[in-house]
Amino acid sequence: MSIKYGLLALLEREPMYGYQLRTEFERSTGATWPLNIGQVYTTLSRLHRDGLVAETGEADDQGKVVYQLTDAGRVELERWFTTPVTQDARPRDELAIKIALAVTTPGVDARAVVQAQRTATVRHLQELTRLKTRADDNADTAWLLVLDSMLFRAEAEVRWLDHSETRLARLEPPPAAAPRAPVTPHQQEARR
């Protein structure tokens, strides 16, 4: 997803100026996607060039330019909402590639790599869950939806890691060589 659609969606609510868009964007996504103001203004100028937003012609009290959605912008936004996100739009999965390489690289204990990753992912899940317990069920719906999405993705990763571990366990025992597995910050601390 580009910032473009985020800004179009916010402008569908009401006309806004750049800094306001940045603040509302971060509020809606629970600050999981921080924007710098430069990105906002660059995107706004492209949207303006493409006729998707227009200046209202009114500056606010401090002289900031206020933008509104055009009809073309509204059509573009509707198209985005009604088009499913495609799987191949996602970046390459570094974790899957790492585990695949761990299995085929001599001297690497792939099961240790899986375990270390699972510990890290489960800790991430715990952190997300704690953020969720702090949220207000009624006031923070958008933030809770983003958190749930992150929780379900992390859970899926743990399930895949469990599945991978079981698959690896059916293979030969891990090599006797010292495992070259990643070490989580917690494990490092525990070893001190």
Which parts of this chain interact with other proteins (CB under 8 A)? 31-34, 115, 118-119, 121-131, 133-134, 151-152, 154-155, 158-159, 162, 165-166, 169, 186, 189-190
25 vs 67 by CB, closer to other proteins: 25
Q: Which of 183, 166, 181 is nearest to 108 (CA)?
A: 181
156 vs 177 by CB, closer to other proteins: 156
How many CB atoms are located within 10 Å of the residue 21 CB? 22
66 vs 135 by CB, closer to other proteins: 135
CB of 122 to other proteins, least distance (A): 6
CB of 149 to other proteins, least distance (A): 12
Instruction: Say how far apart CA 53 and CA 127 lie, in whole Å.
Output: 38
59 vs 142 by CB, closer to other proteins: 142
Q: Where are the alpha helices (DSSP H) in the chain?
A: 3-13, 18-28, 37-49, 71-82, 94-104, 110-134, 141-169, 185-191
Reduced to 3 states (helix: H, G, I; strand: E, B; else coil), residue 64 is: coil
Query: 117: which residues sit within 8 A by CB, 6+ positions away?
Result: 95, 99, 161, 182
CB of 145 to other proteins, least distance (A): 13
CB of 61 to other proteins, least distance (A): 30
